[in-house]
Amino acid sequence: MLSRWSGSFQIAAVYVGTVVGAGFATGKEIVEFFTRYGFYGFIGILIAGYIFIFTGTKIMLISARIRASSYEEFNQFLFGRKIAGIINFFFLIMLLGVTAVMISGSGAVFEEQLGVPKSIGSWSTIILASLVLMMGMRGVFTVNSFVVPIMICFSLILFFSTLGNGDFYKTLTKVPDEVITVKMILSPFAYTAFNLALAQAVLVPVAYEVRDEKVIKHGAILGGIFLTIILLTGHFSLMTLPDVNSYEIPSAVIMRTAASQLYWMFILVIYGEIFTSVIGNIYGLQRQISSYIKLPSMLIIAVIFLIALIISEFGYGRLLGYIYPVFGYISLLFLVLVWKSKAGKE
């Protein structure tokens, strides 16, 4: 029983670690998709939480039942062989673009919070990630199992530290001046679709290796619950920050004010969460490219990092603002097909 729950926790940690990246951990992503919409954003988070729990579980159960070892095989099942080639190429580009966002985000942490040149942060991330990826899936499990519990604890600390800032209920129920738009309505669906489409690069091979459906189900549900908690606590904290849209790393600004004694540790946590997404995305990219090109895995990883580093020069905030929403809307098709699939039903 203990080993089963241990396995479930590891799956949950990898699930959370893959989704919680540069935008999520820094607060930028939560602002972009939810906090800017006030009370409507709170409703959106509840919808997103349900989708993370339900759809994340279904993706992993489908993977286990059809014996898919990579997201290429998973998408062949969903889209059919003819269309899957195009879809997999598109997801490969998505993973590359998001990895660039993560690397840029790690540079932003060093530059904005530590006063260190951005390039040092980016290169430090690349070197550390390469060392972890040399251990394969075991390295991914180990890093996530260590970082994710700390991230959850700090999310709760940040929330309770800001709870007394103003009228919580009034801030929570504040409705934005703008009218309800299609973008606002689609926000939780686009956000979860985008993250789940990318997370399959790690969730699919994890489900293939674990195989035990009870462990997979418990792990996916637990991961979805953790993601919902982090989203909610992050949103509640960010609501208290005036001009929240003007910061690259708003969660760090809040921590500096609300719990300054924990500030530097929180910066490390933010960096750790960016790092877990980097290794997850690169792991998925490397597995996919290796199926087409027979080269040493570390050489493929080096080339991926080089391309991502070049893309990251466009700037973290700009990349996040453009790449995430566009990819989110396109990923909605992936979400619909997962929902329609009968393979993941009980």
CATH of the domain at 320: 1.20.1740.10
Amino acid at 228: T
Residue 108 has pLDDT above 50, yes or no: yes
What integer pLDDT is reported at residue 319 of this predicted model?
59
- Domain contains 144: yes
What integer pLDDT is reported at residue 224 of this predicted model?
93
- Domain contains 345: no
If you search the block for the tokens 């789940």, which residue do you land on? 196
Give tens-digit pLDDT for 129-188. 888 888 877 888 888 888 888 888 888 887 887 776 666 677 777 777 777 788 888 889
Report the SS3 class of residue 12. helix
Residue 47 has pLDDT above 90, yes or no: yes
Give tens-digit pLDDT for 68-95. 878 888 888 888 888 888 778 777 777 8
CB 192 within 8 A of CB 335: yes
d(CA 95, CA 323): 11
Question: Which burial class, exposed, middle or buried, applies to 315 when counting CB atoms under 10 A from its CB (0-12, 13-18, 19+)?
Answer: middle
- Domain contains 346: no
Report the SS3 class of residue 22. helix
What integer pLDDT is reported at residue 198 of this predicted model?
82
Give tens-digit pLDDT for 276-312. 888 888 887 887 787 778 788 888 888 888 888 887 7
Number of structural domains (the chain) is 1
> How far is CA 3 from its chain centroid?
26
- Domain contains 3: no
pTM for the predicted model, two decimal places: 0.83
**Nearest 10 degrees: Cα torsion 136, 141, 144, 147:** -100
Tally the C-alpha atoms within 13 A of residue 146's C-alpha that lie toward its C-beta: 11
Residue 343 has pLDDT above 70, yes or no: no
Please, which residues have CB within 8 angstroms of residue 339's CB and are 6 or more apart in sequence?
55, 58
* Domain range enclosing 301: 8-340
- Domain contains 335: yes
Higher pLDDT, 340 or 8: 8
- Domain contains 23: yes
CB 86 within 8 A of CB 105: no
CB 100 within 8 A of CB 278: no
d(CA 280, CA 275): 9
If you search the block for the tokens 């080096």, which residue do you land on? 302
Please, which residues have CB within 8 angstroms of residue 292's CB and are 6 or more apart in sequence?
none
Q: b/e per residue, 206-223, with b = 16+ CB within 10 A?
A: bbbebeeeebbbbbbbbb
